Amino acid sequence: METPTNVRPLPYAPTETTDLYPESDGKPMADTDLHLYWIKRVQDMLETYFSQNPEVYISGNIMMYDIEGPKRTAVSPDILVAFGLGQKFRRTYKVWEEGKPPDFVMEFSSQRTYRNDLNEKMALYARMNIPDYFLYDPDRRFLPSPLMGFRLVEGTYVEIAPDVHGRVHSETLNLDFALLDDGLAIYDPQAQRWLQTAAEKAEERAKRAETEVERLQAEIARLKAQM
C-alpha cells in the first residue's frame, strides 16, 4: 500500500533499551476510568494548543529517569511538557540525554497515589528542577484542594494561589487551570478563550463553515429575489 504524500511521520528519537532503564513500571496508566478520561483530555487539549509549535514535546505515562547509572530514579508522570526538544517519538525520557528535565509535570491524584504525589514525587520533581508541578484530583476527595499548582522557587515548590477567578496560573505554559462544575478546564489568558480538544476544535470549524454556507445561500436567495 502506498504512503499518502501528505503524511509525514514524526522523526524517531532512538533510546537504548536496557534492564537499567525499563520502558514500563508495570503499573496501570490510571486507577479509574475517570482518571484515564481526564489524563487523555488534558493531554489532548495541550497537544492541540501547541500543535503549531514543533519544538514542544508533550507526553504522558512515559518512563523518566533523572540521572545515568544504577543510582537513577524512575518516575512516570501522567503528563509532561518540555520546550525546545521537538516532537519526536521516545521510548523513555532520560534527562541527561535530552539535556533538560520537563518544564511542566501534572499528576492526576487518586486514593492510591495522592500521598505520594504530595510527598515523594514532589520532592523528586523539585530535585529534577521541574519549574511547574500541578495536581488534579478528579474525585475531589483526596487532595487538600482538587486542583493544586506549585512553582519551583530556589529548589522548593511553593503553592500557587488562585486568582480572583479561581484559576491557577502556570507561568511555564502561560495557561490558567480552572475547576468547573463538571471537571477541569484550561484557559488561555492571552487569547481569552478556553482550550479545546482536537475533536472540539474540528467541530467548531465545521459549525462555522456551515453557518457561512447558510449565510451565503440566504444572500444568494435575497439577490435572486431582487432580480
Whether residues 115 and 210 share a domain: the answer is no
Whether residues 151 and 214 share a domain: the answer is no
Please choose, from the candidates 69, 68, 121, 62, the residue with its C-alpha nearest in 3D space to the C-alpha of residue 91. 62
Whether residues 206 and 185 share a domain: the answer is no
- The answer to whether residue 152 is domain-embedded is yes
Query: Could you report the per-residue pLDDT of 137-184, keeping only the tens digit for each?
Result: 999 999 999 999 999 999 999 999 999 999 999 999 999 999 999 899
Is the CB of residue 128 less than 8 Å from the CB of residue 66?
yes
Indicate the pTM of the whole model. Answer: 0.83
Whether residues 186 and 101 share a domain: the answer is yes
Whether residues 156 and 78 share a domain: the answer is yes
- The answer to whether residue 1 is domain-embedded is no
- What are the grid coordinates assigned to 227, written together? 432580480
| 16 pLDDT more than 60 | no
Buried b (16+ CB within 10 A) or exposed e, 109-126: bbeebbeebbeebbebbb
**Range of weakest confidence among 6-15, 97-106, 111-120:** 6-15
CA pair distance 46, 175, nearest whole angstrom: 10
Buried b (16+ CB within 10 A) or exposed e, 52-83: eeeebbbbbbbbbbbeeeeeeeebbbbbbbbe
Whether residues 177 and 201 share a domain: the answer is no
The reported pLDDT for the residue numbered 212 is: 75
Whether residues 49 and 107 share a domain: the answer is yes
Instruction: Tell me the pLDDT band of 31, cut-offs 50, 70 and 90.
Output: confident
- The answer to whether residue 83 is domain-embedded is yes
The reported pLDDT for the residue numbered 187 is: 98
Whether residues 49 and 64 share a domain: the answer is yes
The reported pLDDT for the residue numbered 26 is: 65
Is the CB of residue 171 less than 8 Å from the CB of residue 163?
no
Q: What is the mean pLDDT of residues 84-92?
A: 91
CA pair distance 77, 97, nearest whole angstrom: 18
Q: How many domains does the chain have?
A: 2
| 28 pLDDT more than 70 | no
CA pair distance 132, 115, nearest whole angstrom: 18
123: left (phi over 0), alpha (psi -120 to 50) or beta: alpha
How would DSSP label each residue in 138-185?
TTSSSSSSSEEEEEEETTEEEEPPP-TTS-EEETTTTEEEEEETTEEE
DSSP H helices in 78-118: 95-98, 114-118
Q: What is the mean pLDDT of residues 78-106?
A: 95
Is the CB of residue 118 less than 8 Å from the CB of residue 134?
no
The reported pLDDT for the residue numbered 217 is: 78
Q: What is the mean pLDDT of residues 84-88?
A: 91
Q: Greatest CA separation found in the chain? A: 84
Query: Could you report the per-residue pLDDT of 179-220, keeping only the tens digit for each?
Result: 999 899 999 999 999 999 999 988 877 777 778 777 777 777
Q: What is the mean pLDDT of the chain?
A: 89
Please give the residue range of the domain that contains residue 208: 197-227
| CATH number of the CATH domain containing 168 | 3.90.1570.10
- What are the grid coordinates assigned to 208, written together? 462555522
Whether residues 102 and 205 share a domain: the answer is no
| 25 pLDDT more than 80 | no
Whether residues 113 and 207 share a domain: the answer is no
